[in-house]
Every structure is written in C-alpha cells, then in structure tokens.
Amino acid sequence: MLGDEGSHVDNKPDEISNKILKKCGGIPLAIITMASLLANKPRDRWYEIYKTIGFGCKDSNEGENTTMRILSFSYYDLPSHLRTRLLYLGAFPEDCSIDKGALIWMWIAEGFVHEQQGTWLFETGEGYFNDLINRSLIQSVESCYVPYGCRVHDIVLDFIRSMSHEENFFTISDNNGHQDTLSKSPPVRRLAHHNMSMRHTATHQANNHLTNAMRTVRSFSAQGCDIELWAPLSRFTLLRVLAIEE
C-alpha cells in the first residue's frame, strides 16, 4: 500500500514513476532529465533514486529547486570522465550553438579524451558527446537529423557554472565585473571572456588581470569581444586551447 510522503511505499515502478512525475511539477527539463536518469537504471532501483533525490520529503520544494536537485543527482551519477567534459561547456555563452567538432578537439587538446585501442581519439570524444546528449544534459543541434553541435539549457548552464566555480574549473570574465575577481582567485586554469569591451582605463586593469592569469591558464577563449589591446599571447606558457571567435 502507498503510504504518506516520506513513509514506506511498495517498490512498484509504475507507482513510483507517477510520484516522480508529479514531483517534477510539469517542468519539461526536470521531466526529461529525470527520464534519462531512470532509463539508465534498473527498475528495482527507482524507489531508491526517488528517496535519494529527496522527493519523498514533505518540505520538498517544487519548480527550479526540484530541477536543480535532479541535475545535481544526474551530475554525481555521471562517470568521472563525463563530469569533466560537462563542466567544460560552462566556458560558452548562454544560448550559444556549440560546434561538436571544435568542442571535441578542445577536449582532446586538454587531455580529456583517453586513447582506446582501435579507436581514433575523435571517435572516442564523439562517444562522450553522445553520452551527454543521451542523458539530456545537453541539447542536440542537428542538420538533416545529423548532430553537428549542441546547446545548453540556461538552468543546466547555471548548474554547470556553479559546479565549475566550486571546483575552480573555469573562470568567466565579462563586462559585469567578473574580471575583477581574477587577481583575487586561486590560480586560473581555464579562462573565458564573453562580450567584453576592453578599452581606455578599463583596458589597463583588465589586461593586468589577464596577464596575471596567463601564467597558469591551460585553456583560453574569447567570444563576442571587442578588445583593442591584448596582453602578449606568449605569456600563456601552459596553454593547450586557444579559441577566439566573433
């Protein structure tokens, strides 16, 4: 028999799936991500997942908090090698169409794609890309039903950047003052500029911060930026990825 929320319920997948669906609150991202998570799990584990995420608690919040809880569970459920690839997507701006080929080559240059016997590195990276799509953590961008890139939902991107900040994985610099944190943060390993205008008095300050960061940066990208004065790229002594677009 079904009990109250938080009490024992029979381990019946149909009943549990209905309860999970109700807790997703009709939010498409929450439903799709949860469905992808359950698809990779034996049906006899669904109730365990339901309880682990916290759906069985009376004070469970709905809406965005529920979605973030599902994303968090999905993230930690990923194999460690896929977590790194997912965090890398935090380098791209919101609503950006990310080219699959360019992304995979970035992963390869960073050493995130490991050689497998009889498989080309790019093919292995493409497998990682497809795994993230199959888990509904990224959205496929297709032409004639062939994926050529991906997009990241805004809520997923917020989650990725939150995790990236916690792990000091990527530092985002933009015109909202985030560049001011570069000189105060731990060593910057990966740095992304978004839609920046570095001119006049702001140019000197921003480039000083960039110059300080250059010594440890492994990956640097600039997208949609208007930069009149660049610090010498030769100062990127550890650089593996350089991506300058628009």
User: In which residue are the tokens 């896929």 written?
Assistant: 82
pLDDT band at 102 (very low <50, low <70, confident <90, very high): very high
- Neighbouring C-beta atoms of residue 207, cutoff 10 Å: 17
> The tokens of 220 are what?
């640097």
Q: Check if the beta carbon of residue 172 is closer than 8 Å to that of residue 165.
A: no
Does 5 have pLDDT greater than 50? no
pLDDT band at 180 (very low <50, low <70, confident <90, very high): very low
pLDDT band at 197 (very low <50, low <70, confident <90, very high): low
- Give the CB-side neighbour count of residue 196, counting CA atoms within 13 A: 28
Q: Where are the alpha helices (DSSP H) in 180-241?
A: 200-214
Q: Where are the domains of the chain?
A: 13-77, 78-158, 170-246
Return the pLDDT at 17. 77
**One CATH from 1.10.3470, 1.10.10, 1.10.150, 3.40.720 for 78-158:** 1.10.10
Residue type (1 letter), 169:
F
The DSSP result for 22-48, as a single string, is HHTTT-HHHHHHHHHHHHTS-GGGHHH
Q: What are phi and psi of 141, to 5 degrees?
A: -110, 120
> The tokens of 181 are what?
């944190």
Q: What are phi and psi of 150, to 5 degrees?
A: -155, 165
- Summarised one tens digit per residue, pLDDT across range 126-135 is 999 999 999 9
Return the pLDDT at 85. 94
Burial of 133 (0-12, 13-18, 19+ CB in 10 A): middle
CA 168 – CA 191 distance, rounded (Å):
10
Report the SS3 class of residue 241: strand
- Summarised one tens digit per residue, pLDDT across range 51-100 is 777 654 544 455 567 788 888 888 998 999 899 999 999 999 888 899 99
Enter the DSSP assignment of 189: S
Cα of first residue to Cα of last residue in the chain, in angstroms, is 60
Nearest alpha-carbon partner for 106 in 123, 122, 127: 122
CA 81 – CA 92 distance, rounded (Å):
19
Does 7 have pLDDT greater than 70? no
Return the pLDDT at 1. 33
- Neighbouring C-beta atoms of residue 194, cutoff 10 Å: 20
Task: Give 23 or 178, the one with higher predicted confidence.
Answer: 23
Specify the range with the lowest mean pLDDT, choosing from 128-142, 177-191, 199-213, 230-244: 199-213
Distances (CA, A) of 229 to 8, 98, 175, 200, 203: 64, 27, 16, 9, 7
